[in-house]
Chains A and B, each alone.
Chain A
């Protein structure tokens, strides 16, 4: 039952290498969408696709390298709570946009 110090929680485990690679990846995933919006003349749908892909990837990078979420048993409940929260968020945000768009369409 004795746990090593490292996996007691999400904020302490990790090494210098993991923080460094997380930081580099985050800088890259921030710079790409900013550069695209500021300097490029790409079509709207391509730009949107890049913004959202970069954001989702960067969120995963943060969860993995900074918050050290993984599939180990000590992180089981954290991951489960996060998945449930994502489900609620998708229903919440998606449902709101769907209903309000529909309302807007019918009222015009």
Chain B
């Protein structure tokens, strides 16, 4: 295999390239995107860490954050990660109906998370603790909002994939897209671990 690979002429791919290698390369490329996204989040985390005590006489995290709600949000995201995993297992078994159900459950759980976050933001802004109140709140809205925007994008992607599955069935390209969506979704759950630990738990303690 290595010999035939080295003997191919520039710009020409081996005609018999196995399909799985394409999927693996696409997954690796997507993984690199996730890593660059992680660096974006680390910039937001660094900003938050610096600003986290700059209350400007305004409300602190201890007064604003409601931990039981954050715990429910965490569970919603965690359950959605698990249900996506089950959908991936069903995909390997070729069970289209189960994949659709699993993805739909994941979508609804993710929607619940976004809904809770938006209503939290709404309550904060209405009570005068909007992003313009203090450096702490600016950093808070930027970091948590960036994560929420990622989850919302994941939901749009998931809706598109639900449509593709209905229209095209579980074809190879659809399967490989679902695999990358899964990587994205699990990745967002990992970022959320950092958010609830650094922002909410440390903010309240």
| Contact B1–A1 (Cβ < 8 Å) | yes
Which A residues from 1 to 54 make CB contacts under 8 A with B?
1-3, 5-6, 8-12, 14-16, 19, 22-23, 26-27, 30, 33-34, 37-38, 44, 47-48, 51-52, 54
A55–B193 touching, CB < 8 Å? yes
Contact A11 B49 (CB under 8 A): no
User: In the bound complex, do residue B197 and residue A33 qualify as a contact, i.e. CB atoms below 8 Å apart?
Assistant: yes
A68-108 interface code vs B (CB 8 A; 1 in, 0 out): 00000010011001101100110011001100100000000
Instruction: Give the size of the chain A interface in residues (CB under 8 angstroms).
Output: 50
**Contact yes or no, A12 B88, CB < 8 A:** yes
Q: Is the CB of B35 within 8 A of A30?
A: no
B27 at the interface (CB under 8 A from A): yes
Query: Is B193 a contact partner of A62 (Cβ separation < 8 A)?
Result: yes
A67 vs B85: C-alpha distance when bound (angstroms): 9
B78 within 8 A of A: yes
The answer to whether B43 has its CB under 8 Å from any CB of chain A is yes
Find residues 138-180 in chain B having any chain A CB closer than 8 Å to their own CB. Answer: 176, 178-180
| A18 CB to nearest B CB, Å | 8
Say yes or no for B121: interface residue by CB 8 A criterion.
Answer: no
From the candidates B74, B190, B204, name the one contacting A30 in the complex (CB within 8 A).
Answer: B74
Q: Are B205 and A44 in contact (CB under 8 A)?
A: yes
Cβ-defined contact, A52 with B197, below 8 A: yes
Using CB atoms, name the residue of chain A closest to B41: A89
Chain A residues contacting B56 (CB-CB under 8 Å) are none
Q: How far is the CA of A81 from the CA of B101 in the complex (A)?
A: 33
| Of the residues A3, A59, A78, contact of B21 by C-beta under 8 Å | A3
Expressed in whole angstroms, the minimum distance between the Cβ of A43 and any Cβ of chain B is: 10
A-chain residues with CB within 8 Å of residue B20 when the two chains form the complex = 2-3, 5, 8
A82 and B81 contacting across the interface, CB-CB below 8 Å: no
CB closest chain-A residue, reference B86: A19
Partner of B49, one of A67, A74, A93: A93
Please give me the 7 A-B residue pairs with the lowest Cβ-Cβ distance, nearest first.
A9-B27, A11-B182, A96-B46, A19-B85, A55-B197, A11-B179, A89-B42
Which residues of B are in contact with A by a Cβ distance under 8 Å?
1, 18, 20-21, 23-24, 27-28, 31-32, 35, 38-39, 42-43, 45-47, 49-50, 67-68, 70-71, 74-75, 78-79, 81-82, 85-86, 88-89, 91-92, 176, 178-180, 182-183, 186-187, 189-190, 193-194, 196-197, 201-202, 204-205
